[in-house]
Structure 1
């Protein structure tokens, strides 16, 4: 299909005023049914971050036969959204329709009037430029919070061409902002940053999240849920086992990283307090993922996770069944049976049962400030259309 079958990746795009523009070039015309597929491919390519002046190469998943194929390459650039997120449980509780993934549905005739899910695995609060300035350019995706907000702004005119109707729609909508921050810390940590160095970017991350909330409210949003970060010190699959002097005896997690997250969440709540002062008519709900999830690590059996909270249900072996060279979804990884017995799905996300445990605490417990049930009583009303954007 390509006009130049011997082309390098660098032959398929150009830099226009610092912006990467893809132009792969095809030698044949497409059937009508193929146009949609090409649009989806272009949308996926837009999120691939290319290093300027870097070595021109692309690595992707090898098929079990030992060969490489276009199919496996396409699979490698497909963004993997976490299918079992807390938003699903919240939607079920309040009768909100489940959300279509925007990135894979925007080239189709998808109706987003009931809401949209902009989340993509690996999304960061800070833009790619922040990491590039610090010598970190090999990002797996460029789907940062800013990119996702731009998608929302692109979608908005199609939902409500009239600005007055738009504000009314946003007033009736529920926004779930993230969770953002965990991927930022994980990314720089794996590049060799120390825990004290991680503390230096907390204010930039929480300010970016707060600014995004501010932008949504300025455009008409009145109900925004903002999650704090999960206890990343308990994801031993990514960050490794704690040393003896860095061990939390009640949970078995890493003390230094959980202290980092606690500080992040404190700073985020301060930012949200400032937003509440600035927008007194808006409902800004802090979602305490950290404390909702933490008890399971000390007593997994109490919550029904007989296989524990650290071991990944789906993985390619290695400590805690996690191997970054054989992640869940690759040909070398496999998922255990009875996923409900595991809290950790793929080393980076909770399982469906894990998310249900967290979200039950959010809805029924003390882990939202102010409580979601008293802040959003109308969400439980029948026959009311409430769009939901994540």
Structure 2
């Protein structure tokens, strides 16, 4: 017969499990928002690394046509949510940390009670007309960062905020309690011009120029708290590993040319952010270091429970690294690994929930943001 201690232990275990499920449920519903969360709204921008549903299988990037199918979303949501992962993204972990619900995609036309996600899978920093002019439209999502800014301006105008100079009270009411999250943007710009006559230097200049104008427009309207996420270590992505020459490798075992390209992009972006800090001294601008967060996991995978650095968890064995662009994740011919948490890469380009959580923790709770994200939270708390 089991002892009373055994029953207590079993009851405790059940309580912990149920509590965990309730917490996960609660943080994504409106009824459990604490009285004074750090921010009342999050407005997010970016591409597929941040998109929570502005695209689906019929509107997303051509190479990944099955995001509305299983096994996308299998780990956390247990059904596809049009996120390019098996579960949550960095933006989802951010929302949870701030005790806010998951952000609705702009195109869902959901009321923006706690914010809106404008990020679009396949989106570029550079305006679409550039790619049309250069006959690079095979795999281009129509929306760019400029489109996302237009959408955001519509939200601002609906709240009476037009310009900080003409509607200061209304703009202040929006931005005093809003966190602006600019997710990774620019990786698609480089990818879409691969093999063309357009140089990476041209893309770097145009993409950073576009991002700079975007940030300046938002800061000029009165944004006070902004986090800007850099590019990841794109040379470590499955697609890069599968396409690059085998002698193009760095000390991480990743594609050297791609990683250098992203690293250089981030260096210039950080310099621009430093200029903005001087230009807008009342704003708190944080750089979220996606590149070094990613590299940190690659260098020490066991710490994060990762066993496979480069193969896609969901894909087809007929291709290199379990990636076949004719049989991508979610298609009838693709299969998924039984343990996504042991993989960095989910479908060949996008990451697993486990990897998103690892980099989110490093950027939001660790030392991979400049200044640390917690400094931003402390400043917000002091300002009320």
TM-score if structure 1 supplies the norm length? 0.71
**Structure 2 match to 1:188:** 193
Which of 214, 223, 226 is residue 225 of structure 2 equivalent to? 223
What is aligned with 1:90?
94
Where does residue 145 of structure 1 map in the other structure? 145
Closer/same/farther in 2, CA of residues 48 and 305 from structure 1, 3 Å limit: closer
Which residue is 2:290 aligned to? 289
Give the structure 2 partner of residue 235 of structure 1.
237
Shift of 1:131: 1.0
Q: C-alpha distance in 1, partners of 2:345/2:284?
A: 32
User: Secondary structure of 2:311's partner?
Assistant: coil
Report the counterpart of residue 134 of structure 1 in structure 2: 134
Change (3 A) 1:81 1:161: farther
Q: Match for residue 349 of structure 1? A: 350
Deviation for aligned residue 1:286: 0.7
Deviates more, 1:198-207 or 1:124-133: 198-207
Structure 1 unaligned segments of length 5 or more: list them.
Answer: 1-42, 50-57, 63-77, 385-390
In the aligned structure 2, how far is the partner of 1:349 from the partner of 1:279? 34
Equivalent residue number for residue 272 of structure 1: 273
Structure 2 counterpart of 1:100: 104
- Do the aligned partners of 1:112 and 1:159 also contact (CA within 8 Å) in 2? no
The answer for the alignment partner of 2:326 in structure 1 is 325
Please tell me whether the aligned partners of residues 315 and 347 of structure 2 are also in contact (alpha carbons under 8 angstroms): yes
Paired position in structure 1 for 2:73: none
Q: Distance in 2 between matches of 1:61 and 1:185?
A: 21
The equivalent residue for 1:74 is none
Give distance in 2, aligned partners of 1:243 and 1:345: 22
TM-aligned CA deviation for residue 301 of structure 1: 2.8
Encode CA deviations 1:315-374: one digit per residue, 9 max, x unaligned. Answer: 233111112122222232232222111111111111111001001111232211111101
**Structure 1 residue 236 displacement after superposition:** 3.3
Q: Return the alpha-carbon distance in structure 2 between the equivalents of residues 142 and 253 of structure 1.
A: 30
Contact 1:305 1:343 in 2 (8 A): yes
CA distance in 2, matches of 1:61, 1:224: 32
Q: What SS does structure 1 have at the residue aligned with 2:268?
A: helix
Distance 2:59 2:93 in 1: 30
User: What TM-score, normalized by structure 2, do the two folds share?
Assistant: 0.72
Q: How many residues align?
A: 307
1:136-162 superposed Cα distances (whole Å, 9 cap, x missing partner): 122342121111111111222334579
Q: How does 1:1-390 map to 2 (within 5 A)?
A: 84-103=88-107, 105-106=108-109, 110-160=110-160, 163=167, 164-189=169-194, 192-193=195-196, 197-240=199-242, 243=245, 245-249=247-251, 251-306=252-307, 308-317=308-317, 318-377=319-378
Do the aligned partners of residues 291 and 87 (structure 1) sit closer, same or farther apart at CA in structure 2, a change above 3 Å counting?
A: same
Cα distance, 1:124–1:349 mapped onto 2, change above 3 Å: same
